[in-house]
Amino acid sequence: MTNIGHQYRIIESGAGWTERVYRGRIRIEGRDRVSFLQALLTNDLAALTRERGVYSAYLTPQGRLVSDLRLYDRGDHLLADVPAAVAASLVARLDGLVFAEDVRISDVSGDVGAIRVIGAQAAACLATAVGADSAAITALPPLGCVDRPPVFFTRSDEIEPPAFDLFFAAAERGSVIDGLQRTGVEPVSEDVGEVLRIEAGRPAFGPDMDDHTIPLEAGLLDRAISLTKGCYVGQEVIVRVLHRGGGRVARRLVKLAFDPALDVVPEASTPVRVDGSDAGRLTSAAFSPGRQRVIALAYLPREAAEASRGVTASVAGREWHADVTGLAG
């Protein structure tokens, strides 16, 4: 916790960088690349431009998540930022759906590097490092993109402090890091980004979402699903839930804040109890230096997923109280 506290203070007043090793990159090229993905993914790729990326999801026909992904238009190809654990299998799965279309898909995780710059001074430091206007970078909307060879970068939609994701040829990694550090950007661990993600209530594929998750359970409706585009894989299930079920799903991912006296971070899958009965499980947890308490994400039954609801979890041999502070998503 002490180390995290120090690094947390770095980003509160300055800027830090961390390598995004938990994410992979996929390249999609060919003249039919956009129409091919438009028929598969949940969001409308009509919104995809060189200046703005799109967050979306790929589902099974049963409406369960295969992966989430952020798509960026790179002119002659699309770059998809995906969970590293599924990059190779996602390439194989998508490639198996190509028939007469002019589409080529490859895993470029080893060829394209990714670094996140986080913190109060992130925009100013990044502007100096790449020779861009600080005010323009500060004003970027989530997933807004800027080209500054040898990098292109986008404003993160995943955490609350200013954060920017840089993409570059892997061979440029050293020079990119040197350029950032010359402006005062300090290295920080992935654990800091994890704290910030949980604070923001953003689910991550793997801990909080998997191939059993309906995206509505994880709160992805507003961010990742278009209600006006044409067909996509799994649409029938999503539409049925939204229109026949009023958008109600059996469980929802929520944000939790534990009693400040708790000084042990509970493990993922720790049961969560409502009125003394097991009702769900933790998916992610961390100590937040900014909030001076353990925070977490957890799935709860729909009727218990409401702000100010009190729950408990057994940690280090004792039952600890936590409050629901809102829905994740």
Lowest mean pLDDT across 110-114, 238-242, 245-249, 281-285: 245-249
Average pLDDT over residues 127-153: 96
| Tens-place pLDDT, residues 44-81 | 999 999 999 999 999 999 999 999 999 999 999 999 99
pLDDT value of position 4: 87
Would you tell me the crossing angle of helices 122-130 and 173-182 to the nearest 10 degrees?
120
Q: Which fold has domain 250-327?
A: Elongation Factor Tu (Ef-tu); domain 3 (2.40.30)
Would you kindly state where each structural domain of the chain is located, as residue ranges? Answer: 2-197, 250-327
Percentage of residues of the chain with pLDDT beyond 90: 93
**What is the band of 243 on the pLDDT scale with cuts at 50, 70, 90?**
confident
pLDDT value of position 41: 98
CATH architecture type of domain 2-197: 2-Layer Sandwich (3.30)
| Tens-place pLDDT, residues 167-226 | 999 999 999 999 999 999 999 999 999 999 999 999 999 999 999 999 999 999 999 999
Q: State pTM to two decimals.
A: 0.95
Selection from 52-56, 243-247, 303-307, 316-320 with the highest mean pLDDT: 52-56
CA dist 203 and 183 (Å) reads 31
CA-nearest of 274, 257, 275 to 266 is 257
**What is the band of 308 on the pLDDT scale with cuts at 50, 70, 90?**
confident
pLDDT value of position 2: 45
